[in-house]
Chains A and B, each alone.
Chain A
Amino acid sequence: MTDKDFQIIDAYLQGDLSEEDRQGVEERAVSSAAFGEALRERRRFAAHLAAKSHEEALRPTLSVLGEQFFPDQQGAVVRPLRPWWRRPAVYGSAAAILLVFALALSFLFPSGNTYAEFAQHDPLSITERGTALADAAAAETAFNAGDYLRAIPLLERYLADQAEDERARLALGIAYLESNEDEKAVNIFTEIAASEGALAAYGNWYLALAAVKRGDSAAALIFLDKIPSTDTYLTEKANRLRASL
């Protein structure tokens, strides 16, 4: 097997070959045992890496559904879960809370209560991700309780050690946004959106929300358009936000 052979296999697995060349690869995989074995092996590696990469995006989806369908039995902490609008029990209290917020926000933000309506954040779960750092649990508790001012220094310390934890970095951005440190928040969301990582779509979603917060609907629409339709959860939220702008 030469470098050129592996290059052809790579191109084949990425779907970059013409139909004729594809057939050539498949025929060679049958006629040459070494080539066939190399193709199977590279396919196995590619599948494994793709699964690992997608797992990062799948876990948050499953965590939210898990909280919904496997509720803790003993009066556990109620977190602001994603599909809150499907829960009739929360409408009464939510309406009252939103009314108070709407009155306050109508003075603070020119876009009215649209920001408050859509700024429903998924719970943070750093501790479930296997870290033993002391700040992790405290940061998670503060964030999930909506105590963003307390969450900020904890998340900053946590990220000093765990700089690659994108979920925590996104949470820090949200905490800044909720604490009216919008410039810092936008810097973080911009980095996440540009990273092409598992949370890139969330970077754009929060850039859109930050724009809504400062009353810039045109910018919000641009960021919403960057959310890929394959992310059905965020696409649904983006469509609802678009309709309200």
Chain B
Amino acid sequence: MSNHPDFRYIIALRDNDSRLLEELYRECSPKILSWVTKNNGSAADARDLFQEALISLHHSAHQPDFTLTCPIGGLIFTICRNKWINQLRRKKKEAEVRIIEAERYTPESATVSAYERWEDDQLEKQRLDAGFAQLSATCQQLLRLLARGISSSEAAERLGMTNANTVYRRKNACLSRWRELIEGQR
């Protein structure tokens, strides 16, 4: 399936391209700001929702098979809207939730599909994060260092391991343990 032209913003999130991200904020922020402030939220709430939506999309963007098949503005709005409803629910503001849910909001089918895919990605991310958090501190540190592109020999030096081969063996052991922890959650 081919990508929507807005996929360039997904690349911008992956590459931390501040120019394109500024364009994305300029295009999409007014709608989110207006909607959140009309629904019992502040500008700070809108800012946090928008940022967390982008961070979550940034995670999806790292999946090798990720595609964007709808305008990104519609997807961001749907993510922010649902996140805000969840926050209101957690604060026991059911009356506000009923008002929001009473309004007519029907996103395009492509946006609905993209949102469902995003929800799946979020569940997957939560599972991976939960497993990662249970790894030993050394495993976490080692995997983080290697993910930053630091060489095995340098990681060995930083973590006081004998050599690059030890790093490789530890990495394998850590990844296997991570898999076990994730499988244990199922």
Contacts and interface: CB of A to CB of B under 8 A. Distances in A.
A51 B62 contact: yes
A70 B47 contact: yes
B144 A49 contact: yes
B29 interface: yes
B125 interface: yes
Nearest to B45: A70
A69 interface: yes
A42 B175 contact: yes
A48 B61 CA distance: 10
Contacts of B18: 61, 65, 232-233
Interface in B105-133: 124-125, 128, 132
> Chain B binding site: helix, strand, loop or mixed by DSSP?
helix
B168 A197 contact: no
A196 B55 contact: no
A43 B25 contact: no
A69 B29 contact: yes
Given A54-B14, A58-B13, A197 B58 contact: no
Contacts of B19: 232
Interface of B: 13-19, 21-22, 25-26, 29, 33, 37, 42-44, 46-48, 50-51, 54-55, 58-59, 61-64, 124-125, 128, 132, 143-144, 146-150, 168-169, 171-172, 175, 178-179
Interface of A: 3, 6-7, 10, 41-55, 57-59, 61-63, 65-73, 83, 196-197, 230-233
10 shortest interchain CB distances as A-B pairs: A70-B47, A49-B147, A51-B62, A69-B29, A66-B47, A233-B18, A53-B147, A69-B25, A47-B62, A51-B59
